Chains A and B, each alone.
Chain A
Amino acid sequence: MIQERFNQTIDLVRRKGQVFSFLQSLLAVCGSGVLVFSFFNKPARGNSRENVLAGYELRAGLAGGRRGDSGFAALLEGLRKTEYSHICVSVFITEAGTFSVFSDFGREDLIGALYEPGAPGEAPLFSHLFMNGELLSGERPG
């Protein structure tokens, strides 16, 4: 299931990620080397469009104008406009930086994306290790 979600998300980025120039860097590194991948598993109250929008509005506010073309403006616009009730956030932590991909849970539509240089202080919950595009760690229990 994890490998499938990884593949679906990368496929979505290939199909619709041209809008975000930094996603080309993700495509360049996702098939080679080591990265950590995590994703929101299923629609839940916490990942309702309203909650995700509120969280990232606060995050954008904290970032101020420092983030340049990291994707906040397009992300917030996408979250405000989308008709999906729940948002899937998929995070790729790579040596080129951290890429967050916002989509519906079917991975049909790309709602937004963010790029942050470096890695988060704490790996996201339910993180999975990938090497050369293949899952290294075990499947999530349950």
Chain B
Amino acid sequence: MIKRDERYTIVRTMYEAGHVASFNDIFKYIPKTVVANDLGKKVDRFNKLMEKVERFTLEEIYMIGNFLGLAEEQIYNLVRAEYLNTKGKIKKTKKS
């Protein structure tokens, strides 16, 4: 059995303390390469998906949630927050 990276536990702890408010915040505490590898994705592809989180499948999102010990609703809400943040930034850029 593959050993789970201990940093997933740290993310969960920081989530409980309110320090993880969006999907991107996860990667302050665990490298994208670790999550990409565990998800079976190439890092380049994973980085592309991070730029447009709406392109992750629900299955992938729930798998990441599972790595972190987060419920489906919790990880979904983090992705949703990320999507809305990004969308807001794009709209602002277009206006200015």
Contact = CB atoms under 8 A, between A and B. Distances in A.
Contacts of A78: none
A46 B74 CA distance: 17
A54 B10 contact: yes
Interface string B24-55: 00001100000000000000000000000000
Tell me the dominant secondary structure on chain B's binding face: helix
Interface residues of A, number: 24
A124 B29 contact: no
Task: Please classify how large the interface on chain B is, using the bins under 10, 10 to 19, 20 to 34, 35 or more.
Answer: 20 to 34
A55 B21 contact: no
Interface stretch (B12-20, B59-67, B88-96): B12-20
A52 B81 contact: no
Contacts of B69: 46
A119 to B, nearest CB: 9
Nearest to B22: A121
A58 B27 CA distance: 11
Q: Which of B9, B13, B14, B20 has the most A CB atoms < 10 Å from its CB?
A: B13
B18 A62 contact: no
Interface of A: 38, 40, 45-47, 51-52, 54-55, 58-59, 62, 89, 91, 93, 98, 100, 120-126
Top 7 A-B pairs, shortest CB-CB distance: A121-B21, A124-B18, A122-B21, A120-B18, A46-B13, A55-B10, A125-B16
